[in-house]
Structure formats: C-alpha cells, structure tokens
C-alpha cells in the first residue's frame, strides 16, 4: 500500500510526525475547498430548478391547449347539431303548413 505524503506517520505508527506536514495538508485542503464556489453551485441549482419548472409549465400549457381545442370542437359539434335540429324543425313546420294549405285548397 503506497502512502500519501504526510500520511507516513499514520501507516508506520510514527508518533513523532511533523506538524508542518499536517498544517501543509490542511492549507492545501482549504485552498481546494475555497475553489468550490458555493454561490455558483446554488445559482446552478436554482437555474436547473427554474429550467425544470419552465419545462413542466410548457407541458401543462400544451395539455391546456389540447383541452381548449377539444372544447372548441365540442362547441362546434353542438352548434352544428343545433343548426341541423332547427333546420329539421323548420322543414317539419313547412310540411305541416303545406299540408294545411293543401287541405284548404281542396
């Protein structure tokens, strides 16, 4: 097993390890941690959440549009059926009037 620099004392059981190495390792770790920009990570998370929300909203908008189109088609079908019913009713009325006028003519 290869040891990392500064960890020799742990692997070899050396109780007289160099505090300077430990401090150096701590400084290196602090530098690595300072390179991680927490605010940019938070901004990235917010951006991803907003993107997911926007995509979800777009999906809902598309579904809503489909429902609206279906409702419009249903309204048109009802209007067409009403027009046809009215036309048939007028035709029946016209036939009744013609029969009455034919009866009077006789």
* Chain segment 38-57, per-residue pLDDT in tens: 888 889 999 999 999 999 99
Please tell me the predicted confidence (pLDDT) of residue 2: 46
The first and second tokens of residue 99, run together, are 């029969």
Would you say 21 and 6 are in contact if contact means Cβ atoms under 8 Å apart?
A: yes
- Check pLDDT > 60 for residue 12: no
Q: Please determine, for residue 1, whether its predicted confidence score (pLDDT) is greater than 50.
A: no
- The answer for residues whose C-beta is within 8 angstroms of residue 3's C-beta and 6 or more apart is 10, 11, 12
> Rounded mean pLDDT of 52-71?
94
**Is 1 buried (19+), middle (13-18) or exposed (0-12) by CB count in 10 A?**
exposed
CA distance 83 to 89: 10
Mean of pLDDT over the chain = 80
Question: Any idea which residue has 């150096």 for tokens?
Answer: 24
């Amino acid at each position: 097993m290869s040891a990392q620099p500064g960890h020799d004392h742990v692997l070899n059981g050396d109780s007289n390890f160099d505090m300077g190495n430990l401090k150096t390792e701590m400084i290196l770790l602090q530098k690595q941690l300072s390179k991680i920009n927490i605010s940019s990570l938070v901004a990235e998370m917010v951006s991803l959440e907003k993107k997911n929300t926007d995509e979800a909203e777009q999906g809902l908008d598309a579904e809503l549009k489909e429902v609206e189109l279906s409702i419009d088609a249903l309204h048109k079908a009802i209007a067409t059926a009403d027009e046809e019913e009215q036309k048939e009713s007028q035709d029946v009325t016209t036939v009744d009037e013609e029969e009455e006028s034919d009866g009077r003519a006789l």
